[in-house]
């Protein structure tokens, strides 16, 4: 594929950040409100997964193009995700991300309910890691709720529409109930916050596992965590702990760990939030059928 790209002159590097947007009933209005406020040169790429009837002739490309200067594309199998572009899922398809390319498969309803947003969010989390961003907008049901857990496990960021602004609040309410949402906002408030997040120095710093800053700040954070939760995180995996602390600094739009220490001292709820963030673990075990077969048999 790379050789082909070199021959044709096509770029072979995907966008740094991919924003997955999940919506269902009432989602069109929310999607339009979101893109009205999103600059055309944000440097982000957007993949929209919306529940559509199999027989529905989608006019989303035409409708959405009226509200943004970004190119709006119907997804074609294997397309490379490029920054400052919007990609729309066609009906009757599921979507996966692999090395920044979008791969389509036929939906399979033989095993029950199909959840295309969860499927894409999980794939996006595995492919993009901390550069994956998920947005859950208006819709019924709970699609997206499992997917945002995968996004958080891999260090990505989660935004959810404020359920009071959603035309249908099932999906937002279920996502909010997980406690995993970094931001809960109306769609027109999301772009500004999203851009502030990706432009923060900590958001773009590669994970090194080394602490950059004053050790006393980290010690104070661990002390507050222990006093609040009775758990000492000092000897937990350093790279994971440091990255998730840095993510909370970014989420709260603070400059550094010293400022975050002061923020924690004045906001006890943030200590509880950080504690929960540090407890988010990769749940591979719970998806391991062999482990559960062993548990059941023995």
Q: Among 97, 123, 134, 143, which one carries the catalytic annotation?
A: 143
Task: Report the half-sphere exposure of 13 (CA within 13 A, side-chain side).
Answer: 2
**In the block, which residue shows the tokens 């939906």?**
107
Q: Is 188 a catalytic residue?
A: no
DSSP 188: G
Fold match flag (2-199 vs 210-279): no
**In the block, which residue shows the tokens 């398809």?**
93
> What's the N-to-C CA distance of the chain in angstroms?
48
Tens of pLDDT along the chain (298 residues) come to: 444 444 444 456 789 999 999 999 889 999 999 999 999 999 999 999 998 766 555 678 888 999 999 999 999 999 999 999 999 999 889 999 999 999 999 988 777 788 999 999 999 999 999 999 999 999 999 999 999 999 999 989 999 999 999 999 999 999 999 999 999 999 999 999 999 999 887 776 655 545 455 678 888 999 998 988 888 888 787 777 888 898 889 888 888 889 999 999 999 899 988 888 888 765 554 555 666 666 777 7
CATH topology of domain 210-279: Chemotaxis Receptor Methyltransferase Cher; domain 1 (1.10.155)
Q: Are 107 and 97 in contact (CB under 8 A)?
A: no
Q: Where are the domains of the chain?
A: 2-199, 210-279
Predicted model pTM: 0.80
pLDDT, residue 277, reads 84
Q: Is 143 a catalytic residue?
A: yes
CATH class of 2-199: alpha beta
Q: Are 151 and 120 in contact (CB under 8 A)?
A: no
| Cβ contacts of 3 within 8 Å, gap of 6 or more | none
């Amino acid at each position: 594929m790379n050789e082909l790209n070199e021959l044709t002159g096509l770029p072979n590097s995907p966008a740094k950040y991919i924003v997955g947007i999940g919506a269902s009933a009432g989602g069109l209005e929310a999607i339009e409100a979101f893109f009205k406020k999103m600059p055309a040169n944000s440097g982000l790429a957007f993949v929209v997964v919306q529940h559509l009837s199999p027989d529905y002739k989608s006019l989303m490309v035409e409708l959405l193009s009226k509200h943004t200067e970004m190119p709006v594309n119907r997804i074609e199998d294997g397309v490379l995700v490029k920054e400052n572009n919007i990609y729309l899922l066609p009906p009757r398809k599921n979507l996966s991300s692999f090395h920044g390319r979008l791969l389509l498969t036929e939906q399979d309803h033989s095993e029950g309910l199909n959840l295309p947003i969860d499927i894409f969010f999980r794939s996006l989390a595995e492919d993009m890691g901390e550069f994956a961003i998920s947005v859950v907008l208006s819709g019924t049901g709970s699609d997206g709720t499992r997917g945002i857990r995968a996004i958080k496990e891999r260090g990505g960021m989660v935004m959810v529409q404020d359920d009071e602004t959603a035309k249908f609040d099932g999906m937002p309410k279920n996502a909010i109930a997980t406690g995993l949402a970094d931001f809960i906002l109306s769609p027109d408030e999301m772009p500004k916050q999203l851009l502030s997040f990706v432009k923060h120095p900590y958001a773009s710093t590669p994970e090194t596992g080394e602490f950059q800053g004053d050790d006393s700040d980290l010690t104070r954070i661990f002390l507050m965590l222990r006093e609040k939760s009775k758990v000492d995180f000092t000897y937990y995996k350093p790279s994971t702990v440091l990255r998730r602390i840095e993510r909370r600094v970014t989420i709260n739009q603070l400059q550094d760990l010293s400022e975050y220490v002061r923020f924690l001292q004045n906001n006890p709820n943030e200590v509880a939030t950080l504690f929960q963030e540090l407890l988010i673990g990769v749940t591979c075990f719970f998806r391991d059928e062999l482990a559960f077969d062993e548990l059941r048999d023995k």
